[in-house]
Amino acid sequence: MITNTRGFLWSDLETRALLEIWGEADVQSALDGNFRNSHVYRDVACRLAELGFERTPEQCRIRIKGLKRQYYQARDGLKKNGHARKICKYYDEMDRILSCRDGPPPPPGPPPPLPPDGLAAEPAPPLPLPLTLPLPLGLPAGGPPTPGAPRQPDGDALDEDGELESPQDNFTEDSGECSSSYAEHPVKVECPPFAIPVPPADGFKEINTQTSTPPLSQPKRSKKRHTNLTLDKMMEKFLQQSVDTEEKFYKYEEQRLKIEDKRREAEHARELQMLQMLGQMLAGISSTVSQRSQSIPASPPQRANHRSYGDNFNYNAMTATLSPPIVIERSFSLHKTHSIKDMENIFQLVRNVIPPLAGKKHKGQDGRIGIIGGCQEYTGAPYFAAITALKVGADLSHVFCTKDAATVIKSYSPELIVHPVLDSPNAVHEVEKWLPRLHSIVIGPGLGRNDVLLENAKGIIEKSKVKGIPIVIDADGLWLISQQPSLIQGYQRAILTPNYMEFSRLYEAMLRDPVDSNDHHGCVLRLSQAMGNLTVVQKGERDLISDGEKVLVCSHEGSSRRCGGQGDLLSGSLGVLAHWAFLAGPEKTNGQNPFLVAAFGACSLTRQCNNQAFQKFGRSMTASDMVSEVGTAFNKLFET
């Protein structure tokens, strides 16, 4: 069943396309023939759709019907005041089409028969036939149509669909115009007196008797509406109402689209929430399976497959062959949707590697950390890394910087040991003398990209690799690695901490492909494998940690504030935790890679400091505010 299409607006271009199709000779012939009009309008709608206008046959029929009504009304108005084109916008097109459908005038009828010869034709008294009838549409005022005359496709004719057309309801089509103010009137039809021959006894005799019936009074014409308005004002009013109606329609459509967009956004948010809950469930299942596998004692073949991090580590003997990885994704957070059991699993490993405080220990036993960086332009970064290492629990913190930066860094804190040797000609030799006393080094904070400093950093990395010292590389140290990846490739005691831009630069340098934004886990895994299975920490909204075999996800709650220097807090704390995890051995880490455990602990600690400082200072939070929260954050995560 076709729904009522009144109220749908037609554009000027769409209407002219409809008239172009409807006015073709084959369409008009089909309408004049014995075809079903519904089939004709169905073909018209199909051809209109080919031009890009989607309309139903019923809509096309009603539109043509309305245009015909406007045309008939305009044609009558043309005889009176010449305002046809104001009433019917498409008067010329309709006149051209409908005038072609007019048939030839009816042939004159035969003359009336004459009376027989010799007989006088005397008219009988005429019979008056006054009739007052409503004039049927299609019947001309002069009398009934001549039999056999062709069909007149005029305004008084039947419409193609069998409905009676009336020019009086010209404006009833919902196309923006108002209804007509012309009322329907009964039409008085009087037959004039005529002679009826009556054969009398003495022959025909013409009798002409006039009717004595008085003529009927003419019916009063009903008052028109808007008698005080001219036609121009009426048309202007009609057009204004049409414009207002169209504006209301578009406003309603805009509101409907906005409501639809909000509904889709809400539905999308619900889907994301369901996916997050599903991911948490899967993470809990994988964590349970991992715990059960850890509770089973390892067999001798499994011990043989465990990677050793002893002092006799030989990185030069390692090949670039990459075995198929085993990906284990774990998400940990203090958010309520994550289980406390999942968090405790990884945090317990970090707690295991933290050395207990004891009175028998001497200075330097819990960690001596070296920071390689600091130049004239960047003095804050090495300070943040060094002071964070001390606040995490290292006993001594050395800073190897340029001569210009040494005085400034010393003025920041008296606890730091500052060596102004990084820009000297024998900088590598000067730092090498201190390497046996250091447990780990952090290369990159405040290093800069001066060729001399980068060359000295390269020499220090090579000397540290020979001695098997854990190396954390950050900031401009990662720039050096992206230019010369072989400098650190294959050294599994190295930890890289790139942000998004640094990660993209490293990934493209190693894999010759851009980063796949839809597969962050896979990209971190592949970069670690390409670098020789060393530990990579990709910093971001969620920190991704991988050693080429596993992927850990640290989504510990932080804040939306990203202040400069918090990456230096991460590298400084990671230098200390890497030494502790490496020193603890596989017994304390349940056979896990100690640098994975250290990286997760450093990421969680940095995020906790960020969260606590943001709660106090909000948008004005800086890296110095985060440094002051290191102690309380460390106690909250690992010692309570």
Q: What is the mean pLDDT of the chain?
A: 77
pLDDT (0 to 100) of residue 444: 96
Q: What pLDDT shows up at residue 277? A: 84
Residue 107 lies in a domain: no
Q: Considering only 41-55, 150-164, 189-203, which range has the smallest mean pLDDT?
A: 150-164
> Is 484 inside any structural domain?
yes
pLDDT of 26-78, one tens digit each?
A: 888 888 775 668 888 888 999 989 988 999 999 999 989 888 888 888 888 76
- What is the pTM assigned to this prediction? 0.50
- Lowest mean pLDDT: which of 53-57, 90-94, 286-290, 313-317? 313-317
Is 542 part of any known ligand binding site? Answer: yes
Which of 600 and 178 is assigned the larger pLDDT? 600
Q: Which of 219-233, 261-275, 571-585 shows the lowest mean pLDDT across its residues?
A: 219-233
pLDDT band at 145 (very low <50, low <70, confident <90, very high): very low
Does 432 score more than 50 pLDDT?
yes
How confident is the model at residue 112, as a pLDDT?
Answer: 47
Mean pLDDT of 347-371: 90
287 is in an annotated binding site: no
Cβ-contact 363, 396 below 8 angstroms: yes
> What's at 585, amino acid-wise?
G
42: annotated binding-site residue? no
Q: Which of 393, 357, 396, 358 is nearest to 598 (CA)?
A: 393
The predicted structure's pLDDT at residue 291: 57
Write down the pLDDT at residue 247. Answer: 86
Contact 477, 447 (CB under 8 A): yes
Phi then psi dihedrals of residue 417, to 5 deg: -100, 115
Q: Is 374 annotated as a binding residue?
A: no
CB-based contacts of 92: which residues, under 8 Å, 6+ apart? 85
State which amino acid sits at residue 334.
Answer: L
Domain CATH number, residue 565: 3.40.1190.20
Which residue among 99, 120, 155 closes a domain? Answer: 99
pLDDT at 318: 41
Residue 479 lies in a domain: yes
pLDDT tens by residue, 541-597: 899 999 999 999 998 888 888 898 999 999 999 999 999 999 998 888 888 899 999
Distance CA 453, CA 438 (A): 20
Contact between residue 625 and residue 617 where contact means Cβ atoms under 8 Å apart = yes
Q: Is 540 assigned to a binding site?
A: yes
Q: How far is CA 341 from each of CA 334, 346, 558, rounded to the nearest angstrom? A: 11, 9, 20
Give the C-alpha distances (Å, rounded to integers) separating 166 from 68, 109, 137: 10, 29, 7
Residue 500 assigned to a binding site: yes
Pairing of strands 368-372, 440-443: parallel
503 among the known binding-site residues?
A: yes
pLDDT band at 307 (very low <50, low <70, confident <90, very high): very low
Q: Is 541 within any annotated ligand binding site?
A: yes
What pLDDT sits at residue 29?
84
Side chain identity at residue 633, one-letter code:
A
- pLDDT bracket for residue 345 (50, 70, 90): confident
CA Rg value for the chain? 49
Residue 504 among known ligand-binding residues = yes
Residue 384 Cα distances to 380, 392, 397, 435, 526, angstroms: 6, 12, 11, 21, 31
To the question of whether residue 562 is assigned a binding role by annotation, the answer is: yes
Asked if 224 and 183 touch (Cβ cutoff 8 Å), the reply is yes
Contacts of residue 557, Cβ cutoff 8 Å, sequence gap at least 6:
333, 334, 335, 607, 611
Instruction: Give me the mean pLDDT over the 107-124 stretch.
Output: 46
Q: Which of these three, 99, 134, 151, is where a domain ends?
A: 99
- Whether residue 315 is contained in a domain is answered as no
572 labelled ligand-binding: no
Q: Which of 99, 132, 149 is the last residue of a domain?
A: 99
Cβ atoms 394, 425 nearer than 8 A: no
pLDDT for 377: 92
Is 629 annotated in a binding site? The answer is no
Total domain count, the chain: 2
Q: Residue 144's pLDDT is what?
A: 44
**568 marked among binding-site residues:** yes
Q: Is residue 310 part of a domain?
A: no
- pLDDT score for 183: 39
Which of 486, 476, 436 is closest to 456 using CA atoms?
476
308 annotated to a ligand binding site: no
Query: Is it the case that residue 389 has pLDDT exceeding 80?
Result: yes
Query: Between these two residues, 213 and 365, which has the higher pLDDT value?
Result: 365
> Which long-range contacts does 635-639 make (Cβ < 8 Å, 24+ apart)?
636/608, 637/347, 637/350, 637/601, 637/604, 637/605, 637/608, 638/347, 638/350, 638/351, 638/354, 638/601, 638/605, 639/351, 639/354
Q: How far, in Å, CA of 323 to CA of 445, rounded? A: 33
Which letter, b or e, does each residue of 50-80 get, where b requires 16 or more Cβ atoms within 10 Å of its Cβ?
eeebebbbbbbbbbbbbbbbbbbbbbbbbee
Among 2-6, 489-493, 525-529, 615-619, which is the least confidently predicted range? 2-6
Backbone angles phi, psi at 443, to 5 degrees: -115, 125
Look at residue 509 and tell me if it is in a domain.
yes
Q: What is the pLDDT of residues 434-470, one digit of tens each?
A: 999 999 999 999 999 999 999 999 999 999 999 999 9
Q: Check the annotation: does 446 bind a ligand.
A: yes
How far apart CA 348 and CA 311 sit, in angstroms, is 26
What does the block give as tokens for 473? 């590389």
50: containing domain: 12-99
pLDDT greater at residue 328 or residue 268: 268
Q: Is residue 245 part of a domain?
A: no
Out of 116-125, 494-503, 609-618, which region has the weakest mean confidence (pLDDT)? 116-125
Lowest mean pLDDT among 11-20, 214-223, 572-581: 214-223
| 354 in a structural domain | yes
539 is in an annotated binding site: yes
pLDDT in tens, 273-299: 888 888 888 877 866 655 555 554 444
